[in-house]
Structure 1
């Protein structure tokens, strides 16, 4: 390590090199082109950077991706920074905290870390991150013999556009081109329930769905079986992971997981119930 280790914000010009680094060093299941596409999310927002990187000479030795968004919460604009993929080469691990400190030094943001692992959880705790309640039900996706002229399940993009309105339509348009988010609308008697899910691996098997967003929890309670049936028959997904903070009531039948994966956030003013999984690596990166 003869060259100085320099810290830089990730710019659009760095996207290809950062993508190649993450493909080679973090997750080779995600193609370089997919990493590159994810680095610049499709929603409209002031992006001060795309995270930070460490470089020695022309060589990237560390990366911490970030996704920025602006949301309206209780009528106020709130700015978010989602901490995403963090990867530093072993011989440069001692410099890795520079990446995190650079992100957290940015003023005026609420920070989320929705897939922390290993030592990152304890580190986040020391940095005043709080845990979200991730109580999670595992739901078998069963081929329920359902039929009702009152209920429709919609997954075709143009029909979703025609069906949704208001904030749900904005969310759909912001996430329609993200790599990991998948979209369903269930309509019952003219009322719509918008659901976003992603395909999730457990024990390296891509046989699960994780629900990221439910737009109408009261209606979801009535039509959840239509969603789970659709996931099985249309997508071949055997089971669904449903966080109660996302879906509301525990679906039946299901079992509660003993050790769901943690999610964390840091904010001086927002409550846990005002934090969700949108505008994040969970919607942008299909690992």
Structure 2
């Protein structure tokens, strides 16, 4: 074996239709065989009736993907400091206790939780306010070698998250020891305050004949599967 291209497969419900996804992960080829490495990618893309995603393209892969008709997603990202905001009295619950998380999820979100329970990079949080619940999945991230960032990958109720964003970042600081949250606006909704927008957010790409970027999320990808 001189090369490999790791892919993650899933079937997802998109607007009432079951769609098949192939998420492109790590791509490694021995130096002396690099000339044949593109065959790995083109073999994956030759699969029929799949939508393809690449959530962590880097270097020359981005331009190669563009030539292969991948679209670039809008990954505008806010960098939010996780500050020790004072807690306000009230019935809002923020928890990452597994039993508490599971207790508050509906059937759809519970399946997502169970599917990602053993994913090495996925971390789970719920926010409950009265009869509304927002289920969050985030990952720990490194930027410039510093492991002090949390990237939000999934938010089941962005409106509820926006209302209690400070409670969430306070929880991430105190319970998960991360100093900053990286929040893509397409995932969380309105830009939190205080925050700054990243000048160069990390790109994410997809290739589909029928779906738009609004139909694509980050579940069942290498973002949950692989810590780095």
Q: By the TM > 0.5 criterion, same fold?
A: yes
- The structural deviation recorded for 1:149 is 2.7
1:220 correspondence with 2:161: yes
Structure 1 CA distance, aligned partners of 2:222 and 2:87?
34
Structure of higher CA gyration radius: 1
- Report the equivalent of 1:39: none
- Report the equivalent of 1:239: 180
Structure 2 CA distance, aligned partners of 1:214 and 1:203?
26
1:262 correspondence with 2:203: yes
- The structural deviation recorded for 1:189 is 1.4
Structure 1 CA distance, aligned partners of 2:141 and 2:50?
28
- Report the equivalent of 2:8: 67
- Report the equivalent of 1:25: none
- Report the equivalent of 1:195: 136
- The structural deviation recorded for 1:147 is 3.0
Structure 2 CA distance, aligned partners of 1:214 and 1:109?
25
Structure with more relative contact order (C-alpha pairs < 8 Å, separation 6 or more): 2
CA RMSD across the alignment:
0.8
Structure 1 CA distance, aligned partners of 2:28 and 2:171?
36
- Report the equivalent of 1:209: 150
- Report the equivalent of 1:38: none
Deviation per CA, 1:118-152, whole angstroms, max 9, x where unpaired? 00000000000000000000000000011333111
Counterpart secondary structure, 2:41: helix
- Report the equivalent of 1:171: 112
1:106 correspondence with 2:47: yes
1:116 correspondence with 2:63: no
Structure 2 CA distance, aligned partners of 1:147 and 1:170?
32
- The structural deviation recorded for 1:92 is 1.1
Structure 2 CA distance, aligned partners of 1:180 and 1:148?
32
- Report the equivalent of 1:134: 75
Select 2:37's aligned residue among 81, 86, 96.
96
Structure 1 CA distance, aligned partners of 2:82 and 2:170?
6
What residue ranges of structure 2 are gaps of 5+ in the alignment? Answer: none
Structure 1 CA distance, aligned partners of 2:89 and 2:115?
31
Structure 1 CA distance, aligned partners of 2:171 and 2:100?
16
